[in-house]
Structure 1
Amino acid sequence: MKLIERLGKEWLFFDGGTGTILQERGLAAGELPETWNLTHPEEIVALHGGYLQAGCDIINTNTFGANALKYPDQLQAVVEAAVAHAKAARRQSGREDAYIALDIGPTGRLLQPLGDLPFEQAVELFGEVVRIGAAAGADLVLIETMSDSYELKAAVLAAKENCDLPVLATVIFDEKGKLLTGGTVDSTVALLEGLRVDALGVNCGLGPEQMLPIIQRLTEVSSLPVIVNPNAGLPRSENGRTVFDIDADSFADWMARIAEMGVQVLGGCCGTTPAHIRQMIARCRQKPFLPPVPKERSVVSSFSQTVEIGGRPIIIGERINPTGKSKFKAALRENNIEYILSEGMMQEDSGADVLDVNVGLPEIDEPQMMAQVVTRLQSVIALPLQIDTSNTAAMERGMRLYNGKPMINSVSGKRESMEAVFPLVRKYGGVVVGLTLDENGIPDTAEERVRIAEKIYRTAAAYGIDKKDVVIDALAMTISSDSRSAQVTLETLRRIRDELGGHTILGVSNISFGLPQREIINAHFFTMAMQNGLSCAIINPNAEGMMRAYRAFLALTGQDAQCSGYIAAYGSQNTPAAPLPADAVMPLGESIERGLRERAEQAARERLHSTPPLELVNTELIPALDRVGKGFEQGTVFLPQLLMSAEAAKAAFEVVKDAMRGVPQQQKGKMILATVKGDIHDIGKNIVKVLLENYGYQVLDLGKDVPPEVIVETALREDVPLVGLSALMTTTVVSMEQTIRLLREKKPDTKVVVGGAVLTQEYADSIGADCYARDAMATVHYADEIFA
């Protein structure tokens, strides 16, 4: 029976750890596990055989780190051998009913614009592995241990575009339920459901106990089968070996509890063995199976935030649109992206929930501009975006590069429109706006608009798009030309809500076109529309009259608990402070906090006319970075924003350095950063490097896969007092311990700070590290202590 016929209908069980077992069988510190597919085939077959005999249904190929970055010459041989060994184990064990998962892990690189790996290159890297593995006979694709939702999307697209196998995806959350780049359970589920994976879940990083709150939320929001593959507790080092603190009996106890939470697929990750899996299966198979329950949630998301449609009305900011805006048109023609970013930030500050993005001008390359604006916006603003265009090439480019589940504006009831747009929504995911017009134009009656809405729903369903992912635009037409138009629109809103149970959207300000004092009409119509069931309003959130109407409506209808939003806006002043215009000169500190590189450069140059360079650094640049760092630690600022702020600060520093040419410059200190031997994942190290350099440290970056001897020799030669070591994989943490041991022997006065997804405080202590840095800012703080 095919996996897809069983998934979500009965218990299915994955295997357990790979790298940790291979270490027990002789995998050396820093040795790449995938090479054993070629050098130790009997061990790989035995590994799979042990799990199959334990009773698991799905075994993962030994390809977690296999990609062209790590294996530029041997990739095909490594992947084909991995699948062949899994097939051999299945045959030898008599388990022909078991499935072989092509295991795909992260590249270890951060995608642009935060890192240096282009999105499409990431898609191709993953796609190459998928093509080889599918041709070799894998039964499904498992994308696992992803900590960046953007890389996750690249991997899913690669799988979908290069094979027709089921695609399952699991990510690695920290104890706060966040991905490395800030994603949450809700935003991750929205993304993966939009991309139409077949099951989703969590693996690695944590033990089953630590995963409980994450699993609870997964089962609350996911309509898909949920996978849970924890580590065998938390790691520690014993006699140079990485061990985990939960034995097979305890693991089975925890997994039995998890089985009762509404998950459908269970397995293990680092530290788990066939004994863990055998006892887990024995305990969990007895539990009543609970199939996934469809969640009727209309959700859009960014990399870190979700907005649910159907509760309070959602505000969609309309200002990123050239219609009637000469300055915005000029910004598009001049490729002034920072002006566009500022428009977005103003709307975010004013209370927008979603930002509409329309960059269409006849004289520009709209697909290229859409790609550029979407990519830059999502790196500095956490709000979800609405991709607004009639150009299907621009629409697809924006949807493909979007890090989340966007709104799509729009599709109409015309057949050619639905045939062009619905396949894109089906492929990339999104909540699409359905315009109540068709080949006959815009109907004059609510009855005809509702009929078109029904046609849009039916056609969407034929493409596999749920009604919850369609929001109907009842169309606000100006009352200056038809005095009945507002009443028709309001009736359409009511009937879509009451008769069809659907969600609605309006471009509210269209109602007043051609009239004087338009905001008077707009604000009152906005209130009437909300009373009649409006779900989403495309408005200018900087228009205080509109926001007054909105806040008052929420307070009066009980959607603003204790009137807290209303009081926050108006309790201490008559009106909220007006935001800075998008073309205003932004202060240096705010430019850095916002991550606006060009504006930070401009502000630094202007401030240098009146402020000495060192004073500017100490009174504005460093305090701005400190504020961003504090927000990151508190969870109000996410990694993309942290990195963009660091880049803006770096640009300002360069301006200051130019002004200080010939003046002796003082640095806080010099330190080494390296990803340890055997590990090519340098995301964490590169993030730390950017921040340390902005805080005035000279960083000797030795790169990735660095042997202990090289690190120690550099520390001796440069007389470095602090070394930072990074590792992502359990199999390479032993290299970290070897490096620390050699440093203690050769240069005992050097301190060592360690970090990485597989580390804990206890583990860091056990391998002799001086400091465990949970995140990048913790490394900066420790460096400040050492060099104080």
Structure 2
Amino acid sequence: MILFDGGMGTMLQKFGLEAGSCPDYYNISHPDVVQQIHRAYMEAGSQFITTNTFGSSPLKLADYDLSDKVEEIAAAAVRNVRAACGDKVKVAGDMGPTGKFIKPIGDLSFDETCENYYRLAKALAQAGADCLIIETIIDIQEMKAALIAAKEAASLPVICQMTYSEDGRTIPGTDPVTATILLDAMGADVIGANCSVGPDKLLEAARQMVSVTNKPVIIQPNAGMPVLENGETRFPLGPEEFASYAPEFAKIGVSYLGGCCGTTPDHIRKVAEVLKDVPLTLPPKVKPFTALTSRTKTVFIGDDYAPVKIGERINPTGRKKMREDIQKGSFVSVKKEGLAEVAAGADVLDVNMGVPGIDQREAMETVISQLSMLCPVPLSIDSTDPAVLERALKVYPGRPLINSVNGADDEILEKVLKLAKTYGAAVLCLPLEKGNLPKTADERIRIAAAIIDKALKAGLRKEDLLLDPLVLTIGSSDTGARETLKTISLYKKEFGLPCVMGTSNVSFGLPARPRINAAFLTMAFACGMNAPIINPLDKDIQDAFINARLLLGFDPGARDFIRAAALSE
């Protein structure tokens, strides 16, 4: 196991840092003190030393009227590590929280947050840091902005550490699995947790993270939960008790271990001693999976999971009242539909703002922002316009589905794939190409293969991709439904990726549409459909899902089926 250092702030206080003083400015005013602390951690066994720049971003330094000193402090901080430790350690350029929340929880915009972190990341990279570490973040939106900024500012590895409360979630409600899935998709190089609570509480967080990523995991706990004694904050865990948890982290498969508030060189030295004869356990390789997240919830999609309901009703097409409300700038009906769909069991909400005569970028940004606060489930952003998508992706606090991309325009495809990579979104691939509406399954397979190839070359992973078999109305083709079902089967055989489809398209223009939709959906489930876009309020659709869960083996003991049957009597 590789060791990081421990707390800096509490160590600076021991060396005379006064309340209200800027800890980061000590890099310039008291370099000897900072170097002494770094050297002590190195001698204790730390292989990575973190720069004293936790609060060196412009927004944090503004508290001390030092915003103009970002570059100077960063350069001094890296220089202090090198002066104290030479080339015996790796230098981790530290970036802590802004102390502010991003809209809509707070007043800070996503772009302002990115600019804040970009400046510090750039300064640390130029000063010679070996990697960047973003730590003690409680808002997944802030972590998204910081990670994007760090990747844009430099080509250094980036470590991302969230901070969790005693209930195992961040203050806004994000759990370790949800955060890890998003950060992995965005390209974080190491994922973990720091500060938070004591090592006992972070064991479970570590287990959860290791279960959903093959990226290295880092844990840096506090020396226990702080207590106030005689007007002073004290951390209760001494070096021996703190280090006693180290073998457990090694057994879980944690790759990097260090300390946060209240830990000292003595804590790290004891950890090094304890781990001397403890081998690092390599966790089981995580099988690739596809998942979408909101701020607080993860939804898994694929053959190993029960069918997922994607609600279709937030779509103004053919919905006069919703269209008129959106044109007036009112989103009350949109929010009511979202809540109704969630109450009816929707696992994901598809959101479409395709209304003529409005600023769709503004509308989509507003709706995604409001729905992400209101509804706990992940969202699907239904647009092919890169400008609309980017505005939505900036405000969405999770890993959404982009619905959709196709092969009709290479420039748009390239832009959307780049956005998906940057923001960690999953992408729905629709088998269309310029001047061709493919009627046969074989044509669709060919087009889908070309889109998948371009997505992988753009840096996306297979688990970032979902496939749409292209549902055409049977009113226009007697073989349309049959070719769609054949496409689903071939998708599974050729690519093994999750399938999503707009179910109700099959019955467009026909009477008794719910009856046709439910029958078609049942057939699609048998072919491997994973996440149909449907009306979750429709009773026939609800029954089709309940039946499919039972028949596909996702309803142990038929409990859900029996419960639903009893309610319908």
Please give the TM-score of this superposition, normalised by the length of structure 2.
Answer: 0.94
- Counterpart Cα distance in 2 of 1:242 and 1:420: 51
* More deviation, 383-392/277-286: 277-286
2:260 corresponds to 1:269: yes
- What percentage of residue pairs aligned between the two structures are identical? 39
- Counterpart Cα distance in 2 of 1:259 and 1:516: 62
The code of the aligned residue for 1:45 comes to: Q
Query: Where in structure 2 are the equivalents of 1:506-521 lying within 5 Å?
Result: 506-521=501-516
1:362 aligns to what SS in structure 2? Answer: coil
Q: Identify the residue that residue 477 of structure 1 maps to in structure 2.
A: 472
Q: Identify the residue that residue 177 of structure 2 maps to in structure 1.
A: 186
- Counterpart Cα distance in 2 of 1:431 and 1:92: 44
Pick the aligned partner of 1:487 from 482, 491, 496. 482
Pick the aligned partner of 1:503 from 498, 503, 512. 498
- Counterpart Cα distance in 1 of 2:97 and 2:523: 50
Pick the aligned partner of 1:77 from 69, 73, 87. 69
> CA 1:30–1:571 in 2, change beyond 3 Å: closer, same or farther?
farther
Query: Deviation per CA, 1:103-154, whole angstroms, max 9, x where unpaired?
Result: 1121222222222222222222222322333333322221111111122212
2:378 corresponds to 1:370: no
The code of the aligned residue for 2:43 comes to: Q
The code of the aligned residue for 1:71 comes to: L
Q: Identify the residue that residue 396 of structure 1 maps to in structure 2.
A: 390
Query: Where in structure 2 are the equivalents of 1:519-530 lying within 5 Å?
Result: 519-530=514-525
- Counterpart Cα distance in 2 of 1:282 and 1:453: 54
How far did residue 44 of structure 1 move?
1.0
1:260 aligns to what SS in structure 2? Answer: helix
The code of the aligned residue for 1:303 comes to: R
* More deviation, 456-465/335-344: 456-465
How far did residue 238 of structure 1 move?
4.4
- Counterpart Cα distance in 2 of 1:42 and 1:78: 20
How far did residue 557 of structure 1 move?
3.0
1:356 aligns to what SS in structure 2? Answer: strand
Pick the aligned partner of 2:110 from 107, 119, 132. 119
2:297 corresponds to 1:305: yes
Q: Identify the residue that residue 68 of structure 1 maps to in structure 2.
A: 58
- Counterpart Cα distance in 2 of 1:533 and 1:231: 47
Query: Deviation per CA, 1:714-760, whole angstroms, max 9, x where unpaired?
Result: xxxxxxxxxxxxxxxxxxxxxxxxxxxxxxxxxxxxxxxxxxxxxxx
The code of the aligned residue for 1:370 comes to: M
Query: Deviation per CA, 1:31-83, whole angstroms, max 9, x where unpaired?
Result: 33223233322111111111122232221122212333342342343553354
- Counterpart Cα distance in 2 of 1:285 and 1:176: 32
Of structures 1 and 2, the larger Rg is shown by 1
2:55 aligns to what SS in structure 1? Answer: coil
> CA 1:69–1:85 in 2, change beyond 3 Å: closer, same or farther?
closer
Q: Any conservation in 2 of the 1:76–1:132 contact (CA below 8 Å)?
A: no
Q: Any conservation in 1 of the 2:316–2:352 contact (CA below 8 Å)?
A: yes
Please give the TM-score of this superposition, normalised by the length of structure 1.
Answer: 0.69
- Counterpart Cα distance in 2 of 1:30 and 1:569: 61
Q: Identify the residue that residue 634 of structure 1 maps to in structure 2.
A: none
2:347 corresponds to 1:353: yes
Query: Where in structure 2 are the equivalents of 1:288-437 lying within 5 Å?
Result: 288-290=279-281, 293-310=285-302, 311-414=305-408, 415-437=410-432
How far did residue 263 of structure 1 move?
1.2
2:432 aligns to what SS in structure 1? Answer: coil
The code of the aligned residue for 2:318 comes to: G
How far did residue 490 of structure 1 move?
0.7
Q: Identify the residue that residue 541 of structure 2 maps to in structure 1.
A: 546
- Counterpart Cα distance in 1 of 2:361 and 2:275: 50
The code of the aligned residue for 1:180 comes to: I
- Counterpart Cα distance in 2 of 1:296 and 1:381: 27
Query: Where in structure 2 are the equivalents of 1:161-310 lying within 5 Å?
Result: 161-284=152-275, 286-290=277-281, 293-310=285-302
- Counterpart Cα distance in 1 of 2:57 and 2:241: 35
1:477 aligns to what SS in structure 2? Answer: coil
How far did residue 508 of structure 1 move?
0.5
- Counterpart Cα distance in 2 of 1:120 and 1:434: 28
2:13 corresponds to 1:23: yes
> CA 1:217–1:400 in 2, change beyond 3 Å: closer, same or farther?
same
- Counterpart Cα distance in 1 of 2:212 and 2:332: 36
- Counterpart Cα distance in 1 of 2:484 and 2:276: 55
Q: Identify the residue that residue 729 of structure 1 maps to in structure 2.
A: none
Q: Identify the residue that residue 87 of structure 1 maps to in structure 2.
A: 79
RMSD, aligned CA: 2.0
Q: Any conservation in 2 of the 1:45–1:85 contact (CA below 8 Å)?
A: no
Query: Deviation per CA, 1:420-440, whole angstroms, max 9, x where unpaired?
Result: 221111111111101122235
Query: Deviation per CA, 1:582-605, whole angstroms, max 9, x where unpaired?
Result: xxxxxxxxxxxxxxxxxxxxxxxx
- Counterpart Cα distance in 2 of 1:35 and 1:569: 64
2:499 aligns to what SS in structure 1? Answer: strand
How far did residue 498 of structure 1 move?
3.0
For structure 2, list consecutive stretches of 5 or more residues without a partner in the other structure. Answer: none
Pick the aligned partner of 2:449 from 437, 448, 454. 454
How far did residue 416 of structure 1 move?
3.7
Q: Any conservation in 1 of the 2:74–2:120 contact (CA below 8 Å)?
A: no
- Counterpart Cα distance in 1 of 2:459 and 2:188: 13
- Counterpart Cα distance in 1 of 2:328 and 2:464: 36
How far did residue 268 of structure 1 move?
0.9
Q: Any conservation in 2 of the 1:45–1:86 contact (CA below 8 Å)?
A: no
The code of the aligned residue for 2:527 comes to: N
Query: Deviation per CA, 1:372-392, whole angstroms, max 9, x where unpaired?
Result: 111111011111000111211
1:442 aligns to what SS in structure 2? Answer: coil
Q: Any conservation in 2 of the 1:231–1:270 contact (CA below 8 Å)?
A: yes
2:43 aligns to what SS in structure 1? Answer: helix
Q: Identify the residue that residue 614 of structure 1 maps to in structure 2.
A: none
The code of the aligned residue for 1:528 comes to: M
The code of the aligned residue for 1:216 comes to: R
The code of the aligned residue for 1:244 comes to: F
Structure 1 runs of 4+ aligned residues shifted over 6 Å read: none
Q: Identify the residue that residue 106 of structure 1 maps to in structure 2.
A: 97
- Counterpart Cα distance in 2 of 1:433 and 1:107: 34
- Counterpart Cα distance in 2 of 1:491 and 1:424: 31
